[in-house]
Amino acid sequence: MICSGGWERYSIWEHSAVVRELYARRCRLEVEEMTCHAQAAEMLSRHVRPGETLLDVGCGSGYFFHSLRTRSIPVEYWGMDASQTLLDIGRRHLPAFGLPAERLLHLRLEDLDGEADHVVCVNVLSNIDNYHKPLERLLRVARKSLLLRESLAAQTRCAFVRDEFLDPGCDLRVHVNTYGLAEVLAFIGEHGFDARAETDRRTGGVPEMVIGHPHHWTFIEATRK
C-alpha cells in the first residue's frame, strides 16, 4: 500500500526521545544556552535594527528565541522546521516567554518562499543531501543578511551513515556532510552577498565528533551587497 507518511517515518528527528526531552528543557530554560546560539546572537546583533524580521531555518523547537530575547535584540523572531513533533514542543512552552505559537511554522526547505530581513540556519545543511538548492533558497529569502553554522573545511566530504543514537529498534541513516569552505563562500558571493568565515567558539576550529563522525563547525556571515 502506498501512503504519504514517509518523511516522518524516515526522519531521524522523529525518532529520538532523548532529543525531544532536551529540546523541551531548552525551551523551559532548564539547561545552559548553546554556545553556538550565543555566538550567533552576538553576530546577528551587528546587523539587526528595531522592527526587522528574523527567520530561524531548521529551528527545531525554536529555543534560539531565548538567545535573542535575553540580549534584548530587537528583532521579530520566526522559526520554521520540517518536524511537527519538535515544533509542537516550542508551541507548548515558548508562549510563556513571549513568543506566539503561530511564529513557529511547519515548513520544509522546499516549501519556503517570501522574505525576511535576516535568516539564520544552524547545523542544518550538513545533515541533508546537498547544500546548493536550499542555500540558494535562503539567499533569495534574506533581504539583508544570512548567518550559517555548518561543517566546513578545505575539502568536501559527504557520507550517509547509520545514526546509532536513536530510539531502540530504530534503524535509520542520516547525511553527515562537510562542504568545502571556499566553494560555499564563492557560491554565496555569486548570489550578491559579501561573505566571511568566523571560527566557531565552541570548538575553536577543531573537529567535533557528533554521532561518531567529525564535524568541522564554522560560521559564515553574509550580508547583501
Q: Is residue 66 part of a domain?
A: yes
| Whether 185 contacts 195, CB under 8 Å | yes
Read off the pLDDT band of 79 (50, 70, 90): very high
Q: Is 1 domain-assigned?
A: no
Say if pTM beats, i.e. exceeds, 0.85: yes
Phi, psi dihedral angles at 84 (to 5 degrees): -65, -35
For 19, the grid coordinates are 532529543
Query: What's the number of domains the chain is made of?
Result: 1
How far is residue 6's CA from residue 140's CA, in Å, rounded to a whole number? Answer: 28
Residue 131 pLDDT level (bands cut at 50, 70, 90): very high
* Interval 174-185 mean pLDDT: 98
What is the per-residue pLDDT across 87-106, written as a single tens digit (0 to 9) for each? 999 999 999 999 999 999 99
Is residue 48 in some structural domain? yes
Distance between CA atoms of 211 and 128, rounded to whole angstroms?
15
Q: Give pLDDT tens digits for 1-19.
A: 899 889 999 999 999 999 9
Q: Do residues 122 and 53 make contact, with C-beta atoms less than 8 angstroms apart?
A: no
Are the CB atoms for 62 and 95 separated by under 8 Å?
no
Query: Using one digit for the tens of pLDDT, what is the confidence trace for 45-63?
Result: 999 999 999 999 999 999 9
Report the CATH number that the domain containing residue 180 is assigned in CATH.
3.40.50.150
Give 76's strand partners.
53
